Structure formats: structure tokens, C-alpha cells
Structure 1
Amino acid sequence: MALDQDDADYDSYVGNAILTAASATEGGMASEQLVDATLVAATADLVMLEAEALTAHPSVAQSVRVRSSVRVLTRVHELAPGFALPRQLIDEPLALLDRWARMNDVATAHASYQCAVAVSGQVPSVVRDAIDITLLPTTRVHDEQMFVRCIQIFESLYRQVADRVAQSIIALDAGNTDQTVALLAEAARRVRATRVLYRVLTTMPPDAFAVIRAHTHGRSAVQSRPYRRVEDLSAPRPPGGSQASTTDADRCGTTLQEILLLRERELGREAATPVRQTMSELDSAWRAMKRSHWGVTLKTIGKVRGTGGTAGADYLRVTAQRPLFPLLSTPA
């Protein structure tokens, strides 16, 4: 990460190798609890970074960003339900938001920082260390630190959603519709909770993002493997339709949509209806998330091309319209 200024990619920019290693068990397998712990730690550090910035440079804009970051902290149990926090650590930032308007910037910054420190203290040290050493921005613009933390949160969430879809394929293939519904419902809840994260990203000034973009060519979120894995596991994709690099290890076998068709023929349409409904909920949440991404991109970069060689906001507008499960978007 420290030496890839000229030939970096998205994985190295985010520090995915380090974060993945920190969330692995002794046997090398990813721990769902540690992946969620990574998301929690990144959220806590986001709040601490922005609270420190508010203390150093009080302003209305920075106060708005801190408030938005604290709001993410209040929803972290939805973004990362696999890492349970004491209820008090969720209630305290909620109470802080309620009295925000009656406090000055110094007081809100201090209280926000203390809430985040308490949450961070719950996270295993190996995860906190990984979070600490994966904040290596390419510029001196403070906004880039917020940007890195936000995309690290998204990466952790994409990993969890992809795993839920993969597990639902196994469950549905075995005829376990109840487990399939539970897995997909959790994935949908996680995706819907990303709305609070986009509120933080909307605080990015276009001029600040222009500086960041100038130093991060080739490091585009379109390269995210967990994101692409969610879509590849969900339904067959047209050849050449992906802007991301796909290796043999990334390619998926039978998709969830294909398994649904098989099970409907075997179990009957009525028996598989709850699965269809939950797949539709995940599809709706996924497309809503992509529309939010498109809106933030349009606000910050306008119509210029993306750093990954895409058409930028126009590319995101088109992809936001693509369903996760095309079968569910057409009449049966």
C-alpha cells in the first residue's frame, strides 16, 4: 500500500489483503464475526477522524459530517449484526444525536469521539491494528481519509452479502426454504442500512474529490471483487458485461436464480414463493443502493469519466437499473 503510487489497484488502495487476513481464523477461513468487527472498527475510526477534524477546524459543514458519521454508528448493528455490541454503545450515540442542536462544536466533537472510542474498544486488537495500518491516503486532503474508511465499510458489507447469497444457494439446493429466506432477509437488511453511509459521502465537496481522483487513477470501486461476487452469484450475467477483472477463482457455478427455477419445478411455485419474495426484497435494496451511489457520484464528479475507465455517473445510472435477479423483473 505504501509503495504502489504508480501501479496501484482498488484492492491495494483499500488494503483488502490486510483486512482479509485480519478477519481470518487460524485455519485461514474468513470469520463472519471478524468481518463484521472490521466494519465496526472502520465505522468507529471514521467518527474519531471526523470528530478530531471538527475540533481542529470547527465549521457547519464539518459538524454535518460528524453528525452523519455518528448516525452510521447508531446503525452499525444493522450493517454488521454478526458483531454484537452492548446496547448501551448504540443508545449513547442515539442520545447524542437527540441533544446535538443544544451543544456547541467542541462538545459534540468530544462526545462523538468518546462514543467511538467505546465502540472501538470492543473490537479485537488484530482487527483494530489492521484498520490502523490501512489508512494510507494518497493526498493531504482530509476528505480522502473519510473516503477510504467508507469504502472499507462497503467492502466488508459486500463480503457478508456475497456469503449470504452463496449460503442461500446451498440451502435452497437442499430444499431448505426457511434457511434461504432467513439468509436473504439478513442480506437485504444489511444493504438497506447503507443509506446512512451515503449521507456521509454526500458531504464530500466536488473540489476535494477532484484532487483525490487526480491521485487515484486505476483505483476504482468498479474493481471490487466482493461486489461483483454478489452479482455473479445471483444470476447469470451477459458475457463481457462486467467492468471488473474476473479470475477463475471469482467465477461462480450455479446461481441463486437458476436454483430457484429448479426448486420451483420440484417443490412447486407456491412452496418457493417466500424465497421469490425475499429475493425481490434483496433485489430492491441492491438497486436502491446503486441509485444512491449514482446520485453521490453525479454530485461529486458530474459527467466526467470514472477512474476505472467507465463512463462515470452515466455508467452507474445504467447499472443501477439492472436487476440482481432479472427473472423476478419480468412477467412469469
Structure 2
Amino acid sequence: MNTDALRHWLAGPPTSHRFPYEQTIDAFHHYGKHAMPEDWLNLLKTARDRLPTVTGPRERLAAFLSTALDKADNRFDYRSYLALPLLPIPDPDTAGEHTDRLMVRRDRHHVLLLADLIGFELHALDGTRNPLPQLRPSAPVVRKRLRHAVRATVPALRRLSFATPLDDDPLSAARRLTAMVCVDRSSADRMTLRTTMLPVSTVHDEYLFIRTLQAFELCFAQLAVDLTAVRTAVGDNRLPAAGNRLCLAATLLRETAPMWSLLATMQPEAFHAFRENTDGASAIQSRAYKLVESLCRTPDPQRLHSVAYRSVPDVQARIRGGHASIDDTLDAIRADQHVIASTPTLADGMRQFTAALRQWRRTHHRLAVRMLGTETTGTGATPGTPYLRQNLDTTVFRRRTTTAHRATG
């Protein structure tokens, strides 16, 4: 993989639209981020230094170079590993668009991510492309992987009014899905998909790992928007509306179940092979998940000062600064157990969301134990599976959940 295209860009007037994304990304797929040659890294650093002189929109280029150089700069983490700054991750503080529009965007990018994964698996199976050639899975494993990946797109496809490509043959369904999504995919979508796949290794299953985690992050970011709307509805004393929104959030979380089955097709030996180079990036650093958790109820002091919240200092600071949770807002309007019990929609929403989040945690723990064992620490000396086990039953909402469960039978 030569650097000619990048040298040519640096030699001429640097414009954002001329940057050789394709050749640069191909190099990352050829070497893996952890093993990128020094000449490539030095040229990319030079490109970053020239950003102030770049003409044309340069926000994406700046974000891409920041993500590409995270290991070289010794600031590699979960956010940069998953290239989250290059994905349309909604933030409840800045999400000014209508809720329905945000959900459409989430569904669309959820489908794009999984269709891209499906296309990668099909190309490898057909032998038409050769990136990430190490430890490729067997054909039966790929067929199972494709079946789960297609299933994971179905709810979003239905909301987007697309045909659902369910088929007895997973290969046929997968090919139909990729063909359908390709027709609707824009040049901006293709750029997003290309720039958000910078694996640390050349191990085949890392593609699956990155795309699935990106889809989870989109889901939890949308849930954070939903729970913020629930908190607002409670504050306005619109308790039935809050309950309806919680039920929708629970549905979205339950829809992630096939993604766990998809991730479970990852080969343990492949996971351990690329995990050696992910030190510093841990899911404990997920900002979206901590927002969801803290929007339900304010963490206890012990948890707030644990490694879980130290890993997301901005969320920790928000809570210390008086960030209100749904529980806090219920307290503020003096919503006692009787009020919740007499609002069955809210009671049902709290029960459903609690059950969905606890199921998500349990499934996460089971898969982590399968891949890592029962006592293995996480990357970057994070607590790993023992931490997940300790937090399986962390309270979602306070004692109201029990009352809500009784109220709904």
C-alpha cells in the first residue's frame, strides 16, 4: 500500500473534497490501525497540521484524522475506536429535531450499518474482496451470522416502510437486503460507512464487532433522547404521555435482542486476537449508556464515583451539577406510589423499561463471560466481567418499580 495519493494531496492545494479517503482507508484495512507504518502516520499528521489551510468543509476531515491518529497520539478510547464522532449520534441536550425525525434517522443508520456488515460478509464468502483476511469464519457460521443480521434490521425496516427480506435461505435474504439498501444509499452514506470502519487489526470478525457496537451506541443515544422526553413529560405532569414514551423506549431496547445473537457468532479466538490491540477502549466508557442509566435515577454516591462514571467525566459532572433524573422529577411533583399506581400507562412503561434493561444487562454479561471467562478484567484494566456481574440487578428506577409491577398485575 503506497502513500502516493496522500503525498499528491499534500503537494497541491489541500481541499477537503480531494482528500484521498479511499486509499487511506484501504491502508488501514490492509495493516490494521495498530500496525500502520510510520510513513503513513507521519503523512496523516502533516495533513492534520494543514487543516487550517484546507478549503471547503473540513469538519469531517478533521474528525476522520482525529479518529485515524488516536493510537499514534496515545488517546485511543472507546469513542475513537468506534469512530463515534463520524456517526449521527443524537445528544439529548442538542437534539432539536422532532422526535419522529430523530427516530427515522436512527432507524436508517441502523439499517445502513448492518447492511454494510452483511455486504462485507457476502463479499468475503464470495471471494470478491480480501480486506481483514485473518481467521475468517466457516461458511455455516457466516450463514448463521447473516440470518441474525437480517433479523436485526426488520423492525427498523418496517418503520421505514421497506419490504422485510425474510427468507428461509439466509444468503438469499442477505443479498436482497443489501440490494435494496444500496438503491437508497447516498454518497454521504457511503462516506460515513467508509470512514467509520478503522479496525485495529486485520482479523475478519473485528468488522462484526465494530458495526454491532456502533449500532448499540445509536440505540442508546436514541434511548437517552426518549428518556429526556419522559423526564420533561413527568415534569409537566403528563404522566400517561411519559408512560407511552417509556413503552416505546422499552420496545426499541427489546429489538436489540437479535444483535446479541449476531455478536455471539464471533469466534472467541478471533476476539482474543484483535482484543490484544484494543487496550484503552472499553464499553464502560459508553457515554450513551451512562446517560440512559442516570436519566432513570441518580446513581448512588458509590456508583457515581466508580470507574464506570469516571470513564465519562462529562456525564459525572452533569450529575454532580444537579442533572435531574425521571425519579427526581417524580419526587418534585410529589408523585407517590399511589399516583403511579393510579396511572397504569406510566406504571406499565416503568415496568417494561426495567425488564428490557435488565434483560439487556443479563445478555451482555452472558456473552462477556463466554468470550472472557468469569474473572477476566476488561481492556485498560477496567473491571470486566466481575463488574458486569455486580451490576446485573442495579436498580433502574427506585422502589416505584415494584409498585408499578403490582399495579399492572
Give yes or no for TM over 0.5. Answer: yes
The number of residue pairs the alignment matches comes to: 311
1:184-203 matches, within 5 Å, as 184-203=246-265
SS at match of 1:116: helix
Map Cα deviations across residues 32-82 of structure 1 (whole Å, 9 max, x no partner): 13233222211111211122223237621222112221221223347xx4x
- How far off is 1:116 after superposition? 2.0
Cα shift at 1:323? 2.4
Q: Distance in 1 between matches of 2:369 and 2:302?
A: 25
Q: List alignment gaps of at least 5 residues for structure 1.
A: 101-107
Cα-to-partner distance string for 1:75-106 (whole Å, 9 max, x where unaligned)? 3347xx4xx132x2x1xx21x2x2x2xxxxxx
| Residue aligned with 1:236, SS | coil
The amino acid of 2:300's aligned partner reads P
Q: 1:17 Cα deviation (Å)?
A: 0.8
Find the aligned partners of 1:125 and 1:283 in 2 and give their Cα distance: 40
Distance in 1 separating the partners of 2:283 and 2:368: 12
Contact 2:82 2:210 in 1 (8 A): yes
Distance in 1 of aligned mates of 2:399 and 2:382: 27
Relative distance call for 1:124 and 1:36 in structure 2 (3 A) is: farther
Residue type at the aligned position of 1:61: V
Find the residue that maps to 1:85 and give its secondary structure: coil
TM superposition score normalised by structure 2: 0.70
Partner of residue 377, structure 2: 305
Q: Does 1:3 align with 2:69?
A: yes
Cα 1:190/1:77, change in 2 over 3 Å:
farther
Structure 1 or 2, whichever has the larger Rg, is 2
Aligned twin of 1:67: 147
Q: TM-score, with normalisation over the residues of structure 1?
A: 0.85
The residue aligned with 1:36 is: 107
Task: Tell whether the 8 Å contact from 1:257 to 1:325 is kept in structure 2 after alignment.
Answer: yes
In structure 2, the residue matched to 1:136 is 198
Which of 355, 361, 377 is matched with 1:290 structurally?
A: 361
Verify: 1:246 aligned to 2:277, yes or no.
Answer: no
Query: 323, 330, 347: which is aligned to 1:260?
Result: 330
Q: Say if 2:337 and 2:403, in contact at 8 Å, map to a contact too.
A: no
- Partners of 1:246 and 1:137 lie apart in 2 by 23
Q: Which amino acid aligns with 2:192?
A: A
Q: 1:15 and 2:91 equivalent?
A: no
After superposition, the Cα gap between the structure-2 partners of 1:110 and 1:160, relative to the gap in structure 1 and judged at 3 Å, is same
Cross-structure match for 2:400: 328
Within 5 A, what are the aligned runs for 1:63-102? Answer: 63-77=143-157, 81=159, 84-86=160-162, 88=163, 90=164, 93-94=165-166, 96=167, 98=168, 100=169
Shift of 1:275: 1.0
Relative to structure 1, the CA distance from residue 181 to residue 123 in structure 2 (aligned partners, 3 Å threshold; closer, same or farther) is farther
Unpaired stretches in structure 2, ≥5 consecutive residues? 1-66, 128-135, 405-409
Once superposed, what is the RMSD of the aligned Cα atoms? 2.6
SS of 2:226 mapped into structure 1: helix
Letter in 2 for 1:59: A
CA distance change for structure 1 residues 331 and 62 in 2, over 3 Å: closer, same or farther?
same
Offset of residue 317 of structure 1: 1.6
| Distance (Å, rounded) in 2 between the aligned partners of 1:85 and 1:4 | 39
Is the 1:264–1:271 Cα contact (8 Å) retained in structure 2? no
* Runs of 4+ more than 6 Å apart: none
